[in-house]
Amino acid sequence: MSYQALYRVWRPRTFEDVVGQQHITRTLQNAITQDKFSHAYLFSGPRGTGKTSAAKIFAQTINCEHAPVKEPCNECAACKGIQDGSISDVIEIDAASNTSVDDIRDIRDKVKYAPSSVPYKVYIIDEVHMISVNAFNALLKTLEEPPKHVVFILATTEPHKIPLTIISRCQRFDFKPISNQAIVARMQKIMQAENVSVTGEALESVALAAEGGMRDALSILDQAISYSEEQVELEDVLAVTGGVSQEVLTNIVRSMIGQDVQTVLNGLDQMIQTGKDPGKFVQDLIYFMRDLLLYKSSSGLGDLLERAVANEAFEALAEQIENSWIQHAIIELNQCQQEMKWSNSPKIFIEVALLSITDQFGKSAPQQIQTEAVDQSEVVRKLQQQLQAMERDIAKLKEAPPQYQDAGGTAPAPERRRPASRNSRNTYKIPFDRIRDTLGKAEKKELKDVHANWANFLNQLKTTNAPAHATIQDSKPAAASADTLIVAFKYEIHCSLFLDHREMVESILGNLDKHRTIIPIPEKEWNDLRSEYIQKQEKPDEQNKPEGDPLVDEARKLFGDDLLEIHD
């Protein structure tokens, strides 16, 4: 087979070719030229970021016939021998298949022998986190004090699995994910050398799909070249990766804003029918929403866009929507992405998420949404002020109840007007009989079910009706049966205010759990009623106890139950 994959042909041969890791290559170059390089290194980072390539370049550079130099010449016998693997003094070991203590002991035994062809013997151990704990312990002493002619380079994608005793004996370099711009620049250079025509949009789509790995990017690009005809287009890359074009994403978001449910669902169905990956679609849509949010925050952030290109359609779409709508949409899509991981029918979760975004946040124009939010917040603020004022008045009355007395010692007749006004609004008649009946049917499991959904219920109530949420937010479920829920409120006035929103609150709670009739009760009266109910439950047990013999009771007091034996 004469053909070689792009990532093999264009594997870095110098430190300059290692893209996006200047903080590492510069440090290594300075250490080599100053002859101050260490005996052990740890290269960690995501896949395809240049860890093993940098290790081989380091081995070439310190063994180059022109050393000390910043870059290997790749022309001398040492450089060529290390590249083609003919020099036995540079050893690459796959730790995934050499994990035992015997493998490490073999290395430890051979370390003491001097190199045969080059000045330094270099051990490159790839995926070193796969080595067993006992093998790490066997390597400790050799790694700490190897012979002067030996250098260890450990490479791993999971440094947290390596013992700290190993890490402390190495100089650690963390390879970071390569930026999309750096990946695109490298691919453009390679395509020019290969004389292959690729559009800029296609390269950007490849870089996004690679997720920071240069090797993955070249593999995807290689696949797209094989799929395309004369020029690699964006559609070719999307067909290979299962991604979705920006035009499709723009149309779907525009349809959600316009509440065009039919277009949204038909577009989703068409994408899946053509073989697009549902998970990739959700990921692309989240990135697209993220780019919209950044661009709306500041048009100067165009360089930070990862999925979108700031064309006319994108700019027009950004002007139509508000930041709050985008944030809610991202939250819904992220939740959908989590639920899809455990489902065999991901399409259903995507449809539910898109419908939820369309219905909940597309019911009115963005300006109307903002106006309603302001109005609701103003209503909540006024209602809270009224509640606070009433609570202060109640507290003052409890501390110093008014006493009216005239000179003759008789209290004047109370005014009829104020009590009538209070009775019409603030006085709440507690249905004690219904509450006692509910306590008789109450079950601990039913109350647990209510508590499990209570936080979600409050959040949904807040978005639906803020005044209703304000009346019930300080309450707590006290007891529950299959069809009734007792809720304890802080003050009696809260119970009265709650009655105005009772049907809507019961409806929202029923959507999350099951439909129950909510009975409000002030917290103080609830505590008294609960204590009374518990005492009544205990008294029958006490009455059923047989009366004791006075003689036996006296003997029990004197000697205790352990020494007492009772015979008829």
SS3 content of the chain, % helix, strand, coil (to 5): 60, 10, 30
pLDDT tens sequence across 401-451: 665 544 444 445 444 444 444 444 456 788 888 888 888 888 888 888 888
Mean pLDDT of the chain: 82
What share of the chain in percent tops pLDDT 90? 23
Lowest mean per-residue pLDDT among 117-131, 267-281, 454-468, 527-541? 527-541
What pLDDT does 391 receive?
A: 77
Q: What does the pLDDT look like over 294-312, one tens digit per residue?
A: 888 877 666 677 777 778 8
- Concatenating the DSSP letter of every residue in 276-324 gives --HHHHHHHHHHHHHHHHHHHH-GGGGGG-SS----HHHHHHHHHS-HH
| Segment holding 121, helix H or strand E | strand 121-126
**Lookup result for tokens 């050398």:** 193
Residues 38-86: tens digit of each pLDDT: 999 999 999 999 999 999 999 999 999 988 899 999 899 999 999 888 8
The number of angstroms, rounded, from the C-alpha of 114 to the middle of its chain's C-alpha atoms is 52
Residue 558: pLDDT band with limits 50, 70, 90:
low
Cis peptide before 68 (omega within 30 of 0): yes
**What's the DSSP call for residue 414?**
P
- Position 313 scores a pLDDT of 84
Give residues with Cβ within 8 angstroms of 452, minimum separation 6.
none
For the chain, domains (ranges, CATH) are 6-174 (3.40.50.300), 180-241 (1.10.8.60), 246-363 (1.20.272.10), 432-542 (3.30.300.180)
Residue 425: predicted pLDDT: 46
Q: What gap in Å lies between CA 161 and CA 155, rounded to an integer?
A: 12
By the 8 A CB rule, do 124 and 94 touch?
Answer: no
> 150-156 and 517-522: which strand pairing?
unpaired
356 residue type, one letter: S
How confident is residue 529, by pLDDT bands cut at 50, 70 and 90?
Answer: confident
Q: What is the pLDDT of residue 215?
A: 92
pTM: 0.59
Q: Taking residues 277-293, what's their average pLDDT?
A: 87
